[in-house]
Amino acid sequence: MRHTVSVDLGDRDYQVVVGAGTRHELAHWLPEGVGRAAVVTQADIATHVTVEPGVESKQFLIGSGEKAKSLTTVESLSRELAEWGLTRNDVIVAVGGGVVTDVGGFVAACYHRGVAVVHVSTTLLGQIDAAIGGKTGVNLPEGKNLVGAFWQPSTVICDTEVLETLPPREYRNGLGELAKYHFLGGGSLDELDIDERVAACVRLKADVVSGDEREGGRRAILNYGHTLAHALEIAGRFDLRHGEAVAIGLVFAAELAARLGRIDEARVIEHRRVVAHYDLSATIPGAITDTELLELFGRDKKAVHGTTFVLDGAAGVEPVTDIGPAVLIDALAAVR
């Protein structure tokens, strides 16, 4: 079933189109009067996901994995676009998962100080999170997504048909982000079919983004579970996908909230149930010291007024600061 969700941002409103086969509607969703389309994707995606922009186009490939989210990739891609002669009257079409939409969106924000971008998201994680909301960026060795820009797409196309081609682990990677939405108002998402499930997550994110585009307040709740997740990813010694790390981070956040008296044990159990339902682990998969994790927490981009965690509570999920190290260490023990 086809769903269209609006992200309401005044004169920059755009639509997120969800449903099987929606990638074949790409030509309809390009900005009016666009000249050419630079299709940014990855080699493994290009072999099984094809798009027809309906205008003159050229394909540009970037590398795979988090290592491709780098300033080196941004420079290389920008130079290739310049050689092709991309102008402000053209559009970048980012076809892929979060790496592609993050890089493609960031290049769109910077090239000629801004060109239009359409995202054709091909992963579950991308469709429910990464492709929506205009947050773009790349990593530094010191941390994830530390260099980037807010640059809203013209349209986001979420073709649920392509999810059938994902390897099981890549699909489970998306389920880690989907688990987050259970606690942001999504309720029993596991009872919906895939189109409705994706659309429900998109509506939740669109509502948050519409009210707080640049993460000055409520949008921080979308980082639920991400503080520990990002620390584990930055540590770089674990075989963890982003969604897998978020699942561990969700349970840690619940354990931490319980120790602060924000939620009861039943709510902690519900976090563990949801994570287990999606066949995700709630345990840090190796050795890392409390000292290292606490230091990595401080690098998180939410840490404006000291280390900040997004935690569940009676008023819902919200940012919380000034948590003592002893409480953090006690909560970490629950996910070791």
Active site residues: 113, 135, 177, 205, 215, 219, 223, 226, 230, 242
Give the H/E segment covering residue 329: helix 325-333
CA–CA–CA angle 122, 126, 132 (5° rounding): 120
The span from the CA of 146 to the CA of 140, in Å, is 6
Alpha helices in 5-130 (DSSP H): 26-29, 43-46, 71-84, 98-110, 124-125
Which amino acid would we find at residue 185? G
Question: How many other C-beta atoms lie within 10 A of the C-beta of residue 141?
Answer: 8
* DSSP letters spanning 128-165: IIITSSSEEEEEETTEEEEEEEE---SEEEEEGGGGGG
What sign has the CA pseudo-torsion 109, 112, 113, 118? negative
